[in-house]
């Protein structure tokens, strides 16, 4: 027996009934799969509103360093990056100047993905600081921007701090594991039909369900891996202390590559000694750690801690060499090779995706987009199936407006964030805050807009208007770049072509969706 079509007897707007239609079963209400269907629907809905944004920003975080480069087009090297003692001395002077302002800064060393020296401090919301040429040590005239770190911070803490925000994210990750497990239980017996019977031009509920199932099944291993590792990494937020969770505590800081590790130091009672020349210490650290590169340097009043580069393998270790700040003599190394530490380092490496392979990061990016689409489609499907029975309820209208803001509103807000980076004056005071404010203000307006149209029982008109905004923002941004000549197309052309290509693809998807919605509005 084939799947039951809309309008025929036996049709039910529930995944369990759809699978039953495929397999010829007669489901009973009080069955395990019916309970799993309820769990999948409601846990997926309540957690999915925020999880969609978490997965979307996490997907962008795969290329957070590259996004920062795109948002700082003035940061251009005149020659190959070659770290010099003179540049490091200038970086130390910049760091000491930051300390006189009350900031506890650290040095981010050049890498393949980020060839600059960055003097970074945490300003209470994000990491900011000067960008220096690794050869001369001169400060580059890069505009202050939240950059790709904004997406990482949102993904990691919802911009709500490392305790409250990351605890919410961890709880939502556990909810996602529950929803995924329930979804697998529902569809396991119809796995093959779900995988091959994709009908994008079929009846709307069936097409949405097929898309939800197809993305869920094809990217299920990636979804489980990312969700599980994310939950374990921050597991101590919701679980009592355990030796396994306590292992490798320093890995819970985000990335050392300009995106993490808050350098909190106890205020000195007396001036700290001058920092010794760093280039010889970096070379000693490479030898002591048996690593080709070092990543970043933290300073205390008595020590200089140089951390090895953790992008060489899938294991994200925080091995470090420690030197005396007084005279630069070697003190110790910390190398994590215990089984518990290695297991934790593996989970961090798999989740943070810091490996240098461009192909692997593109695979992560595509997989993240697919998982984000699966969640967004699940939200849309929830309201499509229940519109006839619950369409007049206030909670239904509010939920539908929230769904609109989670899909088209979030996309438009992200694009507006990029527009703000190009349009806001480079000398604007508190420029980073202004960029971030544009994102959240537009996102809030998309929610209000969606709810208003949903309450007026014109949700499709709301979807059309927000999709039009996505279309204009996506296709207009490359034109803005070209007209404003905000960057040198001959410098790092692959970066700008990739960004413009993704923007064009976003616009094309919005255009296709817009045509289908207008056709549905006329029918």
Q: Where are the domains of the chain?
A: 1-72+146-248+341-387, 76-144+252-335, 391-523
Angle at 233 between CA 38 and CA 406, to 5 degrees: 45
> Across the strands, what pairs with 139?
132
Neighbouring CB atoms inside 10 A of 328's CB total 15
Q: If you search the block for the tokens 């030197």, which residue do you land on?
A: 323
CA separation for the pair 88, 175 (Å, rounded) = 46
Q: If you search the block for the tokens 């509010």, which residue do you land on?
A: 398
Q: If you search the block for the tokens 């499709």, which residue do you land on?
A: 460
Residue 71 CB contacts under 8 Å (≥ 6 apart), including other chains: 143, 145, 146, 147, 148, 418, 421
Neighbouring CB atoms inside 10 A of 290's CB total 10
> Which range, of 282-286, 311-315, 339-343, 417-421, averages the lowest pLDDT?
311-315
C-beta separation of 119 from 94 below 8 A: yes
CA separation for the pair 209, 226 (Å, rounded) = 23
C-beta separation of 101 from 119 below 8 A: no
Top pLDDT among 183 and 265 is at: 183
Band (pLDDT 50/70/90 cuts) for residue 419 is very high
Considering Cα of 216, then 217, then 218, then 220, what sign does the dihedral take? positive
C-beta separation of 88 from 134 below 8 A: no
Is beta strand 127-132 parallel, antiparallel or unpaired with respect to 303-308? unpaired
Say what the pLDDT of residue 82 is.
Answer: 85
Q: What are phi and psi of 13, to 5 degrees?
A: -85, 65
Neighbouring CB atoms inside 10 A of 103's CB total 17
Task: Starting at the earlier edge strand, list the strands of the sheet with 303-308.
Answer: 127-132, 117-122, 106-108, 294-299, 303-308, 320-324, 330-334
pLDDT over 70 for what percent of the chain? 83
Condensed to tens digits (0 to 9), the pLDDT of residues 300-355 reads: 999 999 999 877 778 888 899 999 999 999 999 998 888 888 888 888 989 998 87
pTM: 0.86
Considering Cα of 186, then 188, then 190, then 193, what sign does the dihedral take? positive
Whether the per-residue pLDDT at 265 is higher than 70: the answer is no
Say what the pLDDT of residue 339 is.
Answer: 86
Is beta strand 127-132 parallel, antiparallel or unpaired with respect to 294-299? unpaired
CA separation for the pair 218, 212 (Å, rounded) = 10
CA separation for the pair 246, 310 (Å, rounded) = 20
> Which range, of 293-302, 310-319, 418-427, averages the lowest pLDDT?
310-319
For residue 127, what are the CA distances in angstroms to 121, 150, 436?
Answer: 5, 9, 13
> Which range, of 19-28, 159-168, 431-440, 476-485, averages the lowest pLDDT?
19-28
Overall average pLDDT of the 106-128 stretch: 89
Say what the pLDDT of residue 160 is.
Answer: 86
Residue 266 CB contacts under 8 Å (≥ 6 apart), including other chains: 301
Alpha helices in 158-219 (DSSP H): 166-187, 191-196, 204-218
Alpha helices in 326-458 (DSSP H): 339-352, 358-390, 394-404, 410-423, 431-455
Condensed to tens digits (0 to 9), the pLDDT of residues 208-264 reads: 888 888 888 889 999 999 999 999 888 766 655 544 444 444 444 444 443 444 444
Say what the pLDDT of residue 18 is.
Answer: 43
For residue 372, what are the CA distances in angstroms to 102, 376, 472?
Answer: 40, 6, 22
CA separation for the pair 306, 320 (Å, rounded) = 5
Overall average pLDDT of the 419-438 stretch: 93
Overall average pLDDT of the 118-128 stretch: 85
Say what the pLDDT of residue 21 is.
Answer: 43
DSSP state of 392: T
Band (pLDDT 50/70/90 cuts) for residue 56 is very high
> Across the strands, what pairs with 119?
107, 130
CA separation for the pair 175, 41 (Å, rounded) = 12
DSSP state of 164: I
C-beta separation of 258 from 65 below 8 A: yes
Say what the pLDDT of residue 208 is.
Answer: 80
């Amino acid at each position: 027996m084939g799947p039951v079509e809309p309008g025929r007897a036996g049709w039910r707007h529930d995944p369990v009934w759809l699978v039953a239609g495929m397999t010829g079963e007669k489901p009973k209400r009080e069955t395990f799969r019916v309970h799993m269907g309820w769990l999948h629907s409601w846990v997926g809905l309540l957690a999915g509103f925020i999880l969609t944004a978490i997965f979307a920003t996490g997907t962008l975080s795969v290329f957070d360093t590259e996004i920062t480069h795109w948002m700082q087009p003035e940061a251009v090297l005149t020659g190959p990056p070659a770290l010099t003692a003179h540049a490091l001395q200038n970086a130390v002077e910049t760091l000491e100047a930051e300390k006189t302002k009350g900031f506890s800064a650290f040095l981010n060393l050049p890498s393949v993905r980020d060839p600059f020296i960055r003097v970074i401090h945490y300003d209470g919301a994000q990491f900011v600081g000067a960008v220096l040429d690794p050869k001369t040590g001169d400060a580059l005239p890069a505009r202050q921007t939240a950059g790709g770190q904004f997406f990482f911070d949102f993904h990691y803490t919802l911009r709500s701090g490392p305790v409250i925000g990351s605890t919410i994210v961890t709880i939502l990750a556990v909810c996602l594991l529950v929803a995924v497990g329930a979804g697998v239980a529902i569809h396991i017996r119809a796995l093959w039909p779900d995988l091959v019977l994709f009908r994008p031009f079929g009846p709307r509920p069936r097409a949405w369900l097929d898309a939800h199932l197809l993305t869920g099944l094809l990217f299920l291993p990636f979804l489980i891996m990312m969700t599980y590792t994310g939950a374990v990494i921050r597991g101590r937020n919701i679980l009592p202390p355990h030796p396994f969770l306590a292992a490798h505590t320093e890995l819970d800081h985000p990335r050392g590559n300009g995106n993490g590790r808050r350098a909190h130091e106890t205020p000195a009672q007396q001036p700290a000694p001058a920092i010794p020349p760093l280039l010889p210490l970096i070379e000693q650290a490479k030898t002591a750690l048996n690593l080709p590169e070092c990543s970043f340097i933290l300073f205390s009043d008595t020590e200089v801690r140089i951390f090895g580069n953790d992008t060489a393998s899938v294991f994200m270790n925080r091995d470090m060499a420690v030197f005396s700040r007084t005279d630069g003599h070697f003190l110790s190394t910390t190398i994590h090779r215990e089984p518990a530490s290695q297991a934790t380092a593996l989970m961090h490496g798999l989740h943070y995706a810091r490996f240098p392979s461009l192909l692997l990061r593109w695979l992560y990016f595509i997989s993240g987009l697919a998982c984000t689409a699966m969640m967004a489609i699940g939200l849309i499907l929830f309201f499509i199936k229940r519109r006839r029975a619950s369409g007049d309820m206030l909670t239904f209208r509010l939920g539908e407006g929230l769904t609109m803001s989670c899909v088209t509103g979030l996309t438009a807000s992200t694009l507006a964030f990029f527009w703000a980076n190009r349009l806001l004056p480079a000398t604007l005071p508190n420029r980073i805050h202004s960029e971030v404010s544009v994102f959240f203000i537009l996102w809030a307006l998309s929610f209000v807009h969606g709810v208003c149209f949903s309450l007026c029982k014109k949700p499709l008109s709301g979807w059309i208007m927000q999709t039009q905004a996505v279309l204009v923002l996506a296709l207009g941004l490359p034109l803005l770049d070209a007209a404003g000549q905000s960057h040198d197309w001959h410098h790092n052309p692959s970066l700008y072509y990739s960004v413009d290509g993704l923007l064009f693809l976003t616009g094309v998807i919005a255009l296709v969706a817009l045509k289908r919605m207008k056709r549905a509005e006329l029918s």
